[in-house]
């Protein structure tokens, strides 16, 4: 979702900066995606300012919508989850939330693959195989999709990635291993909030040192979350499938995460 490019070497770490200095340092727009805008941070070439928008898209932007507070909710949900993942030792781009809708992150060059982890079958894979949604899997399934809206983010096999040179074998191996680690942490986090993590999409990128960092966002836009008791869908499928009360579902996810108080990094 984000195509962050790095231009030059920066040395200052955000930990040394205070929130007021960061909040006054948003610089030029680098990239605008469907749900976020990415800006440079003045004086810090290694950082980016990520602003969450209120817009909502599905089916690669063929369906468009929005609701007030969506940017705020998704920024808060991502902040909560990335701080938790940091506490669990997952290397990621998130540094500091600097406004209700924005965070300063480490700039990364995005690996051009969407990494999907499925704990139960749903969505596109259930549909194409004619299986019922919610079917159990013998183990979590990791799938790769090419990040390309015009092509509709097509599924690619690991062999296609290798032979067609879509990403390096190291990228594939590291993304897969990290995605499975993230899955373990997220399953526990969401279960604490009475949410079943059915599947989700991750994006990874490399920082200036070449380290692979979990990037982008983790929100009801990027995860399927079902209520553990009722099976109610509390994610973007409410928008994709016209189920109504999209905003209420996003608010519910945030409220449950905040109430469940998992291990936190700060």
Length of the chain: 266
The verdict on 58 binding ligand ASP (CB under 6 A) reads: yes
Specify the stretch interacting with ligand ASP by CB under 6 A; choose among 2-10, 53-61, 67-75, 95-103: 53-61
Which positions from 218 through 237 interact with ligand ASP, judged by CB under 6 A? 236
Burial of residue 41, with CB atoms counted within 10 A of its CB: 0-12 exposed, 13-18 middle, 19 or more buried? buried
Which positions from 148 through 167 interact with ligand ASP, judged by CB under 6 A? 153
Please report, in angstroms and rounded to a whole number, the separation of the first and last CA atoms in the chain: 27
Q: Which of ligand ASP, ligand AIR, none sits in contact with 59, Cβ below 5 to 8 A by type?
A: ligand ASP
Number of helices followed by number of strands (H, E) in the chain: 7, 14
CA distance 41 to 4: 13
Q: Which of ligand AIR, ligand ASP, none sits in contact with 191, Cβ below 5 to 8 A by type?
A: none
The verdict on 60 binding ligand ASP (CB under 6 A) reads: yes
Apex CA 82: angle with CA 7 and CA 263, to 5°?
A: 150
Tokens of 58: 């599905």
Nearer to ligand ASP, 22 or 249 (CB): 249
Q: How far is the CB of 153 from ligand AIR (least distance, A)?
A: 6
Nearer to ligand ASP, 34 or 256 (CB): 34
Q: Are 227 and 46 in contact (CB under 8 A)?
A: no
Nearer to ligand AIR, 123 or 140 (CB): 123
CA distance 163 to 157: 10
Q: Which of ligand AIR, ligand ASP, none sits in contact with 114, Cβ below 5 to 8 A by type?
A: ligand AIR
Sequence-distant (≥ 6) Cβ neighbours of residue 97 within 8 angstroms = 75, 76, 79, 103
Q: Are 2 and 30 in contact (CB under 8 A)?
A: no
The verdict on 221 binding ligand AIR (CB under 6 A) reads: yes
CA distance 175 to 177: 6
Q: Which of ligand ASP, ligand AIR, none sits in contact with 228, Cβ below 5 to 8 A by type?
A: none
Site string for ligand AIR, 126-155 (x = CB under 6 A): ---------------------------x--
Q: Where do contacts with ligand AIR occur on this chain (CB under 6 A)?
A: 114, 116, 122-125, 153, 199-201, 221-224, 236
Q: Enumerate binding residues for ligand ASP (CB under 6 A).
A: 34, 57-61, 153, 236
């Amino acid at each position: 979702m984000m195509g962050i490019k790095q231009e030059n070497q920066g040395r200052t770490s955000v930990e040394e900066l205070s929130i007021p200095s960061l909040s006054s340092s948003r610089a030029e727009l680098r990239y605008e995606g469907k749900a976020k805008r990415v800006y440079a941070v003045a004086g810090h070439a290694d950082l980016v300012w990520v602003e969450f928008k209120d817009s909502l898209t599905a089916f690669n932007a063929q369906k468009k919508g929005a609701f007030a507070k969506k940017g705020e909710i998704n920024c808060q949900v991502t902040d909560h989850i990335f701080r938790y993942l940091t506490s669990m030792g997952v290397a990621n781009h998130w540094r500091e939330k600097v406004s209700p809708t924005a965070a300063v992150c480490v700039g990364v060059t995005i690996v051009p693959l969407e990494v999907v982890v499925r704990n139960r079958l749903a969505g596109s894979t259930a549909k194409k195989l004619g299986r019922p949604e919610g079917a159990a899997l013998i183990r979590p399934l990791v799938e790769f999709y090419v990040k390309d809206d015009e092509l509709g983010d097509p599924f690619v096999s690991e062999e296609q990635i290798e032979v067609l040179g879509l990403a390096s074998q190291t990228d594939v191996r590291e993304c897969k291993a990290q995605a499975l680690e993230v899955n373990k942490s997220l399953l526990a986090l969401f279960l604490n909030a009475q949410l079943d993590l059915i599947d989700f999409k991750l994006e990874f990128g490399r920082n200036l040192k070449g380290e692979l960092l979990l990037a982008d966002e983790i929100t009801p836009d990027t995860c399927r979350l079902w209520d553990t008791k009722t099976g109610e869908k509390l994610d973007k499928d409410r928008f994709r499938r016209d189920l109504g009360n999209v905003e209420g579902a996003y608010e519910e996810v945030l409220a449950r995460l905040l109430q469940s108080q998992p291990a936190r990094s700060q």
